[in-house]
Amino acid sequence: MAAEDKPQTGNSGTNKKRKQRYRSHNKPVKKGSYPLRPGVQGFFITCDGGREKQASQEAINVIDTFYEELVYGQNYGAKRVAVPNKPLNKITKFSDSDSSSEEDDDEDDKSDRHEDEKVHENQAEEKSDFGKLDAADSENQNNEKVDSQKEDDATHDKQRNETEEVPTKKQRLQTDASNGEKVVGGKMEEKSIDKLIEAELEELGDRNKRRFVSLDAGCNGIVFIQMHKREGDPSPKEIVQHMMMSAASTRKHMSRFILRVLPVEVACYASEEEISRAIKPLIAKYFPTEAPTPQKFAVLYDARANTGVERMSIINSVAKSVLGPYKVDLNNPDKSIIVQVAKTICLIGVVEKYKELSKYNLRQLTSPKP
């Protein structure tokens, strides 16, 4: 009977209390990054597995620096030191100087003394001559004082009238500042500094207004950086080409987690029909039918987390879309069409000198030569 009165335990047979979890008050639930989708442009980046977050932050900084170099110039942000036009020659004297320098200073002091004695003699002669003229000048000075007093009274009256107008102007400026506006040259500005700062903060907070944003590719070791291209901005191909050329020439280490950077100008679903339809404007841009000199090209394909698409069917559909005097050359192509499949999304871009630039691998380009 005693055994029947015991409380029943769970399936595990333990009476441990479960830890209660509560959602924080008035705080949004943390969400992951936005997934990769068709119709975007940007950069396909490979990195070490497990370092996707660090690589995405590093990639945004690196891409932004090369974007600014293309837009604003090579010396953008460099600090320049002002050099004076004339050298500043200063004579410094030390207590432990040589005897020769002391002798030179003594000779200079003697010459200065002789010149001072001559000046004093000339001043004594001039005082005797000016003493006679002081009596005549004193009468003229008394007459001038009377006239100057009359002029001073008139100027004091003008200053009183001006001081009465100054506080009224200050009151107007204070009322204008309280309304959140500024007065420059007698004209009112439309926006204050605070409003401009708030507008910039709103742009930074809105993902759609940022120039570079990371998207979740859904695969390990892959990072995708979306570029919101505006009018006049360089294309992802131009930014990556400039990045690789500068890395190959300078051999300067610029990344820790980034391996390969490839431009993406077409993103669509991974199917033959979608790829052949979406690639047409890209082919017309880089492979025009009326080309002065025929060029060689190659199609490079790679897939991740997708086994439902046949490799050769995608390569053949891309190669057939290139018309005109162009030939396929896998050994030494002038331009390479990069096709990357990540899950259900196909990313396509065009690069130049792919093999010469270590297949666009920053780590290999910046590593010291053996």
The pLDDT value given to residue 183: 42
What token pair was written down for 36? 């990769």
pLDDT at position 324? 81
Query: What pLDDT, on a 0 to 100 scale, did the predictor assign at position 185?
Result: 46
**What burial letters (b/e) apply to 140-170, b meaning 16+ CB within 10 Å?**
eeeeeeeeeeeeeeeeeeeeeeeeeeeeeee
Show the CA angle centred on residue 58, arms to residues 56 and 62, nearest 5°: 115
Residues of the chain falling short of pLDDT 50 = 1-2, 29, 77-91, 94, 97-103, 127, 130-133, 135-136, 146, 163, 166, 168-189
- Smallest CA-to-CA distance from 361 within 284, 265, 260, 292 is with 260
pLDDT, one tens digit per residue, over 273-300 is 999 999 999 999 999 988 778 889 999 9
Each residue's pLDDT tens digit, 129-146: 544 445 445 555 555 554
Confidence at residue 173, expressed as pLDDT on a 0 to 100 scale: 42
Q: 256: Cβ–Cβ under 8 A, 6 or more apart, which residues?
A: 54, 58
Please list, residue by residue across 280-304, b when 16 or more beta carbons sit within 10 angstroms of its beta carbon and e when fewer do.
eebbeebbeeeeeeebebbbbbebe
What pTM value is reported for the model? 0.59
Amino acid type, 365: L
pLDDT for 20: 57
**Cα torsion angle, 29, 32, 33, 34, sign:** negative
Domains and CATH numbers, the chain: 42-71+201-366 (3.30.2130.30)
pLDDT the model gives residue 31: 56
